[in-house]
Chain A
Amino acid sequence: MINLQDIRDTARDMLAKGEVRTVIGYRRGTRGMLAEPAFITDPAQADDLVWNPTCFHNLSLYLVEDRKFLAHLRQNPGAPIGIVAKGCDARSIVVLMQEHYFKREDVYIIGVSCEGTGVVDERKLAPHLNGFQASDAVFDGDDFVFTTAQGEKRLPAREVMADRCLECRIPFPKEHNLVFGEDKTGRQLAEPFAALKRFEAQEGGDRWNFWSHHFDRCIRCFACRSVCPMCYCDECVVDSITFPVTSETSAEEKANRIRWIERSATRSENITYLMTRAMHLAGRCTDCGECERACPVNVPIRLLNNKMEREAREKFGFEPGASIGGPSLVASFLDNDPGDFIR
């Protein structure tokens, strides 16, 4: 069991001593039970920090933002930035360091173990609350306890947990400066890639029906890209900001420009976007599942990422975010990589 006060005390001490310049963590939001990202710079605010089953966000995203901001200001980081990280979040931080986005000493990882549980999936929770809104959520052993206008509701965590957490193999931030909670690596609440396997068993031969339906539904709000710490490209293939259009730009010139993906949220363009994203995340995605949670129209994006993760694991023995010095998936190879498909 994690004692929240320990996290707060750590943050307060470190800020007071100037060991970190900010602590990125979670605080209580203004929408019912939901936590939101918090950026604590004043030691007096350390008591705002919370740790509960609604701490979904992969905060390593904000390390990327911070880095971009410093680069923009042409400033050196100075003191490291403190960050509260779950197992998957810490693996994302490792991938970012593998890619030399920042150095190990630039970040102070305050690890939190998810122990026997994980974060809640609001979509799974809703039917349990009889239409009531939860105003609070807390961990209690292997249960989650929610507070609603009807009183307390205790639910076994695995009934309302996000799929990504059920399938998680390493619910512990291996890379950390400090860690709270027990290491329960090896726990298995669901078999790895359970959702993917369920999908493969269900859809049988008619994958295209399933995917074309979902590709049609994407509204291209880019929440999946924006919420992803790995989607840090300064310029995404879908943004056409390299090529300005002026009154002098001729039709022919426009026609000859490379436009990988049109702005229109039509099926073909959505496919190209989502598939490109899946490819770019191969070997980098640590399955924090934020893209699928953020999606306002429930496109099952995680399946694409899981598929890539499983291929990398089975075909190349690759585990994303395993170690800072480790290779990256598509910039490395083994002599005996499978090649039977090549003629």
Chain B
Amino acid sequence: MEKILEKKRIDDWIKALSDWEVHAPALQDGIWTYQPVSGAIRLDHPNTNQSPKGFAFPQREIFFSFEQIKGEPPKLKQVLPKTPQHAVFGVRPCDGRGVPRMDKVFNDHVEDPYYNARRKNVAYVGLACNKPPSPNCFCLSVGGSPVSTDGLDVQLTDMGDRYFVKAITEAGKALMKAADGMFSDPSAAEQKQLKQVHAEAVAHPQRKVNDPDGAPAKLKANFNSPLWEEMARACIGCGICTFLCPTCHCFDINDEVQNKAPLKGQRVRTWDNCQFPDFTMHSSGHNPRENTGARLRQRVNHKFQYFHENFGMHQCTGCGRCITGCPVGIDIVTVVNKVTEHAG
């Protein structure tokens, strides 16, 4: 389904989506974040500070609650998320491409009921990048594109005073049908303009991973390279790169006890981060990834080697958040290039 929507009518479209809870990027406290829409939206954001992965995989979620009276068996109550239907506007193509990657992780071998319960109620309305929204964009290097529709339900393309609106999935069609009368059919000229806008978008220069196809083998060959430690020398072991990433999915599970007698609490899942020193800490005190080099290698190899071996695609979608956000200048593009060139 391909339609045209006048830009000024986008707020009307959102108003018509009364069955959805609509979120869109908004500038608050100096950063762009997804916020519930109230009033007018502006889709002129660079890229959001954090990826939209939290809609399906929130930073904290409760698995089940437990209660035990001393001497009696514990009572468990599963807490499955009951989220309303979400429509997330303004998702950039790199973040869109993060969605199927997360879907794979949470549905390979074992289906994660918590993830899936949320995921089925989220529709992503993407916005093609007419020019790279960040100086650290490199989606073209990792099989993506600034006009990719992968993972999106609807794709918007900014064409001056109009959006070219394309439904990708059934969920996307439903969003458009909710405001049927607002859209018009694209003329041949508009179709042509779309092609041109997209061609220009792809032609914009970006940062470049030099040999993405060769990366998995070369990273594997360089597992023991001293380069890792050298490149991670400045790493401070914070969680910025993983917490902002659209595809980092590691988590920790903890029991949070609220009351001791009678025992009461919940088991919760929270985001975890492979760059924290205690991520792989054993109870014996031994830490198999004991320095920042080993931890940086884990993150980069996961993105460009392990995931590729498991699912045949790079996990990294080239959004550049980890590069922009790193307080000490660790740059995944440079890291991958250095390692691959080292082998070549």
Contacts and interface: CB of A to CB of B under 8 A. Distances in A.
B257 A255 contact: yes
Interface string A39-62: 100000000000000000100011
B60 A266 contact: yes
25 contacts: A29-B329, A31-B329, A36-B234, A39-B233, A123-B30, A214-B29, A219-B50, A221-B243, A223-B240, A226-B236, A226-B238, A227-B328, A244-B282, A255-B257, A255-B260, A262-B256, A262-B268, A263-B252, A264-B60, A264-B268, A265-B59, A296-B31, A296-B49, A298-B29, A298-B30
Contacts, number: 120
A55 to B, nearest CB: 11
B186 interface: no
A227 B327 contact: yes
A292 B330 CA distance: 19
Which 3 A-B pairs have CB atoms at the shortest separation, nearest pair first? A244-B283, A36-B329, A221-B239
Contact of B260 (A35, A225, A226, A256): A256
A195 to B, nearest CB: 14
A325 interface: no
Interface residues of B, number: 49
Interface in B235-276: 236-240, 243-244, 252, 254-257, 260, 263, 265, 268, 270-271, 273, 276
Nearest to A214: B29
B233 A294 contact: no
B92 to A, nearest CB: 17
Nearest to A244: B283
Contacts of A217: 29
A143 B66 CA distance: 61
Nearest to B135: A133
Interface of A: 29-32, 34-37, 39, 57, 61-62, 123, 133, 214, 217, 219-223, 225-227, 239-241, 244-246, 251-252, 254-256, 259, 262-266, 290, 293-294, 296-298
Secondary structure of the A contact surface, majority rule = loop
Contacts of A39: 233-234
A263 B30 contact: no
Given A226-B236, A240-B254, A254-B255, 18 more contacts: A31-B135, A31-B329, A37-B233, A62-B234, A217-B29, A222-B276, A223-B236, A223-B239, A223-B327, A227-B236, A227-B328, A251-B74, A264-B256, A264-B268, A265-B270, A296-B240, A297-B50, A298-B30
Interface of B: 29-31, 33, 49-50, 59-60, 66, 68, 74, 135-136, 233-234, 236-240, 243-244, 252, 254-257, 260, 263, 265, 268, 270-271, 273, 276, 278, 281-283, 323-325, 327-331, 333-334
A39 B235 CA distance: 12
B77 to A, nearest CB: 15
Residue in B260, B268, B328, B333 with the greatest tally of chain A CB atoms within 10 Å: B328
B329 A263 contact: no
